[in-house]
């Protein structure tokens, strides 16, 4: 726990956001030229389907050492980069 | 024991014998067999009062709820046909199906009735509660069809660019239900999970096998079924004993659900159909769920399940599961390209199926129906599945590929021409070709657009979502200056496919 906190305190919201953005481009959309801004609708816009959403959840859990509760995997937390970053922030 | 001759008889009998038992459970409520039956009787009265006739259609555009199951029973009691259209379908698609089937009534839930009202259809609301809104539909003309058959119609993707309706009779559905209930030994104590939407034929098992055996059915919303983490928890909490779903559902569960965290001691039957289950994904599942009864069921919507294969252990190597041997009510044969029967083992051919569970025909499309069937020398009617298979040394059929362009993605059946037709209708689009990348599990759309015009991926996805269910929306768009053509001047699909794989 102690170690995790130290590691993450140095991580700004902005850098988390950019890491996730990069992950989305590389692994989910697989299109580097795609513009994903903070409020691009990822799920309702059809960029992420249910499986890629779960993949991303797995990626976030591993990378930031947090755990999603089953009911937290929803649009309220994952629809945009902004929401995802805020959600991660709230768990750190 | 006499078999029921109409689908509502299962519910009626259960209501009489096991009236107080819970039939349907949702996240918010429980409904006993008597309660669902009473709802059906009530709805039947409304239908009758508003002039329902034999062989009328009722479009059921709704999310999964107990009321929908009561609507199905009410239709069966009225000798009408119901047409389930999952709420996840865009309103434009529901509209197409409504005009195709020319229903007497359209039944919605609160959410879909709002969508329906935006379509400016000739409808009048005649009954409204939270779960059920019934609209009377006023077509230009009430046509009469020669096809006097009641049951239900399942809409599936059509190769001519529009959805096609597969008409299933009571008898055909019952042949499957009775077989499945006994083959998998479903008991009154069983708890079944409804994962599939009601317009998918897997739900026929869920709804009617549960009623036949007075078991309990848990309805999971489409939203919930997409969240593997949540489903892993719920299947355990709800003590589910029988699940019939696509390999995609189980694969997602095994890979992302954290199954090790929960107890699945109630689980007995794990049944899957709709696509190939990759052995390594299956192995992950069986490691988490050892000692359950697994079976691979096979059959297009037109035949329902017609062959099946039981699996007992982890699957070695890369060999695919066979689709198995014919069910008790089905006969299968393999034919070569000249339609001669292939008797040898390990020789590929098209699978033809003759079965009591066979569909009656495609809705209002006699040509397509006739083209899909053959009367063989033994006087049996066979449905030509379009699936290329062979018989292995154990006499099990093994699926190899499709004869046509049909795609299976995550268990969903997609005709690329239906997607192409929608995208071609967008402004400035010149040519479109939709193909499937197996390695990436992506639907890829190649397109040529008029010069000086540009689309971006998001725009196209949102356009598509207005007309197509999500699973039919391409994952990727590739813009080409010019579409490659073959010698006959048609889009060179083989070349594009090569680029993709």
CB-nearest to B230 from A35, A40, A71 is A71
Q: Do residues B216 and B21 make contact, with C-beta atoms less than 8 angstroms apart?
A: yes
Name the residue in chain A with its Cα closest to that of B248.
A51
Write the DSSP string, B286-350. HHHSTT-EEEEEE--TTT-S-EEEEE-SPPPSSPPPP-BEE-TTEEEEEE-TTSPBP-STT--EE
Name the residue in chain B with its Cα closest to that of A55.
B256
Does the residue A1 lie in any domain?
A: no
Higher-pLDDT residue of B75, A4: B75
Interface test with A, best of B90, B228, B444 (most A CBs within 10 A): B228
What is the value of ipTM here, to two decimals?
0.85
- pLDDT tens series, chain B, 501 aa: 455 799 999 999 999 999 999 999 999 999 999 999 999 999 999 999 999 999 999 999 999 999 999 999 999 999 999 999 999 999 999 999 999 999 999 999 999 999 999 998 999 999 999 889 999 999 877 766 656 788 999 999 988 889 999 999 999 999 999 999 999 999 999 999 999 999 999 999 999 999 999 999 999 999 999 999 999 999 999 999 999 999 999 999 999 999 999 999 999 999 999 998 988 899 999 999 999 999 999 999 999 999 999 998 777 667 788 999 999 999 999 999 999 999 999 999 999 999 999 999 999 999 999 999 999 888 899 999 999 999 999 999 999 999 999 999 998 999 999 999 999 999 999 999 999 998 888 999 999 999 888 888 888 999 999 999 999 999 999 999 999 998 888 899 999 999 888
B290: nearest Cα among B271, B308, B309, B264: B264
Q: Nearest-CA distance from A52 to chain B in Å?
A: 10
Interface test with A, best of B455, B458, B465 (most A CBs within 10 A): B458
Chain B residues touching residue A35 (CB < 8 angstroms): 456
CB contact under 8 A, A45 and B458: yes
Which pLDDT belongs to residue A1? 44
Q: Between β-strands B191-194 and B412-414, what pairing exists: parallel, antiparallel or unpaired?
A: unpaired
CB contact under 8 A, A70 and B230: yes
CB contact under 8 A, A55 and B256: yes
Asked if A66 has any chain B CB less than 8 Å from its own CB, the reply is no
b/e map B414-438, b = 16+ CB within 10 Å? bbbbbbbbbbeebeebebbbbbbbe
Which pLDDT belongs to residue B486? 87
The structure tokens 């598509």 sit at: B464
Tokens of B303: 């035949």
CB-nearest to B229 from A35, A45, A70 is A70
CB contact under 8 A, A45 and B248: no
Tokens of B458: 């998001």
Name the residue in chain A with its Cα closest to that of B228.
A54
CB contact under 8 A, B229 and A46: no
Chain A residues touching residue B229 (CB < 8 angstroms): 54, 57, 68-70, 73
CB-nearest to B256 from A40, A47, A54 is A54
CB contact under 8 A, B410 and A51: yes
Does the residue A67 lie in any domain?
A: yes
Which pLDDT belongs to residue B2? 55
Asked if A49 has any chain B CB less than 8 Å from its own CB, the reply is yes
pTM over cut 0.90: yes
Asked if A50 has any chain B CB less than 8 Å from its own CB, the reply is yes
Q: Do residues B269 and B242 make contact, with C-beta atoms less than 8 angstroms apart?
A: yes
**If you ran DSSP here, which 8-state letter would residue B461 be given?**
H
Write the DSSP string, B183-228. HTT--TT-EEEE-S-TTSTHHHIIIIIHHHTT-EEEEPPHHHHT-H
Is residue A2 over pLDDT 50?
A: no
Q: Residues in chain B whose beta carbon is closer than 8 A to a beta carbon of chain A?
A: 223, 226-230, 232-233, 248, 252, 255-256, 410, 440, 456-458, 461-462, 464-465, 470, 473, 475-476
Does the residue A2 lie in any domain?
A: no
CB-nearest to A54 from B233, B252, B458 is B252
b/e map A28-48, b = 16+ CB within 10 Å? bbebeebebeeebebbebbbb
Beta bridge partners of B106: B59, B135
- Calculate the alpha carbon distances from B80 to B119, B170, B411, B419, B439 in Å: 25, 11, 29, 31, 44
Q: Nearest-CA distance from A54 to chain B in Å?
A: 6
**Which residues have C-beta within 8 Å of that of residue B315, sequence separation ≥ 6?**
B279, B282, B283, B321
CB-nearest to B457 from A34, A54, A69 is A34
Q: How many domains does chain A have?
A: 1
**Could you give phi then psi for residue B369, rounded to 5 degrees?**
-60, -50
Write the DSSP string, A24-90. IIIIII--TT----TT--STTTTSS-HHHHHHHHHHHHHHHT----GGG-SHHHHSSHHHHHHHHHH
User: Any idea how long chain B is?
Assistant: 501
**Could you give phi then psi for residue B6, rounded to 5 degrees?**
-130, 150
d(CA B308, CA B290): 20
B44: nearest Cα among B18, B6, B98, B14: B6
Beta bridge partners of B326: B307
CB contact under 8 A, B227 and A70: yes
Confidence of residue A92 (pLDDT cuts 50, 70, 90): confident
Which pLDDT belongs to residue B451? 84
CATH number of the domain within which A83 lies:
1.10.1200.10
What is the span of the domain harbouring residue A62?
A: 11-91
Q: Nearest-CA distance from B252 to chain A in Å?
A: 7
Name the residue in chain A with its Cα closest to that of B258.
A70
């Amino acid at each position: 726990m102690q170690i995790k906190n130290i590691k993450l305190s140095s991580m700004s919201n902005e850098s988390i956001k950019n890491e996730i953005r990069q992950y989305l481009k590389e692994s989910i959309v697989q299109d580097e030229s795609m513009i994903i801004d903070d409020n691009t609708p990822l799920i309702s816009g059809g960029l992420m389907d249910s499986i890629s959403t779960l993949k991303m959840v797995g990626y976030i859990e591993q990378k930031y050492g947090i755990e999603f509760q089953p009911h937290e995997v929803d649009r309220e937390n994952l629809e945009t980069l902004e929401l995802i970053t805020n959600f991660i922030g709230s768990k750190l | 024991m006499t078999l029921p001759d109409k689908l509502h008889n299962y519910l009626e009998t259960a209501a009489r014998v096991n009236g107080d038992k819970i039939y349907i459970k949702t996240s918010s409520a429980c409904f006993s067999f008597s309660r669902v039956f009473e709802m059906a009787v009530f709805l039947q009265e409304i239908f009758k009062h508003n002039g329902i006739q034999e062989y009328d259609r009722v479009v059921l555009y709704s999310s999964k709820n107990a009321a929908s199951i009561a609507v199905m029973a009410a239709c069966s009691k009225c000798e009408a046909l119901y047409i389930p259209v999952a709420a996840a379908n865009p309103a434009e698609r529901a509209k197409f199906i409504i005009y195709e089937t020319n229903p007497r009534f359209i039944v919605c839930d609160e959410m879909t009735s709002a969508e329906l009202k935006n379509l400016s259809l000739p409808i009048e609301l005649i009954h409204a509660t939270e779960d059920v809104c019934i609209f009377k539909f006023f077509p230009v003309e009430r046509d009469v069809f020669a096809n006097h058959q009641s049951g239900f119609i399942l809409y599936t993707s059509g190769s001519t660019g529009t959805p096609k309706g597969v008409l299933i009779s009571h008898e055909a559905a019952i042949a499957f239900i009775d077989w499945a209930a006994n083959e998998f030994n479903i008991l009154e104590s069983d708890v079944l999970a409804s994962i599939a939407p009601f317009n998918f034929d897997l739900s026929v098992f869920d709804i009617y096998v549960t009623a036949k055996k007075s078991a309990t059915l848990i309805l999971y919303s489409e939203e919930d079924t997409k969240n593997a983490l949540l489903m892993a928890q719920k299947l355990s909490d709800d003590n589910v004993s029988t699940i019939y779903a696509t390999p995609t559902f189980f694969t997602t569960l095994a890979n992302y659900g954290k199954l090790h965290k929960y107890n699945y001691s109630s689980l007995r039957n794990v049944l899957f159909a709709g696509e190939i289950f990759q052995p390594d994904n299956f192995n992950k599942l069986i490691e988490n769920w050892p000692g359950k009864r697994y079976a691979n069921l096979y059959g297009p919507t037109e035949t329902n399940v017609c062959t099946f294969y039981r699996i007992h252990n982890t699957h070695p190597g890369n060999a695919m599961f066979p689709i198995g041997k014919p069910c008790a009510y089905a006969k299968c044969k393999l034919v070569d390209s000249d339609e001669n029967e292939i008797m040898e083992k390990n020789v590929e051919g098209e699978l033809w199926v003759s079965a009591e569970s066979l569909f009656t025909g495609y809705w209002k499309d006699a040509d397509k129906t006739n083209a899909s069937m053959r009367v063989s020398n033994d006087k049996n009617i066979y449905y030509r599945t379009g699936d290329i298979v062979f018989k292995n040394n154990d006499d099990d059929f093994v699926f190899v590929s499709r004869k046509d362009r049909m795609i299976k993605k995550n268990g969903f059946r997609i005709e690329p021409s239906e997607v192409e037709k929608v995208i071609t209708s967008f402004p400035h689009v010149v040519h479109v070709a939709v193909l499937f990348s197996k390695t990436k599990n992506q639907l890829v759309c190649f397109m040529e657009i008029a010069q000086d015009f540009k689309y971006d991926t998001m725009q196209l996805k949102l356009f598509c979502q207005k007309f197509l269910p999500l699973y039919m929306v391409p994952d990727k768009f590739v813009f080409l200056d010019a579409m490659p053509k073959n010698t006959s001047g048609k889009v060179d699909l083989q070349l594009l496919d090569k680029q993709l794989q």
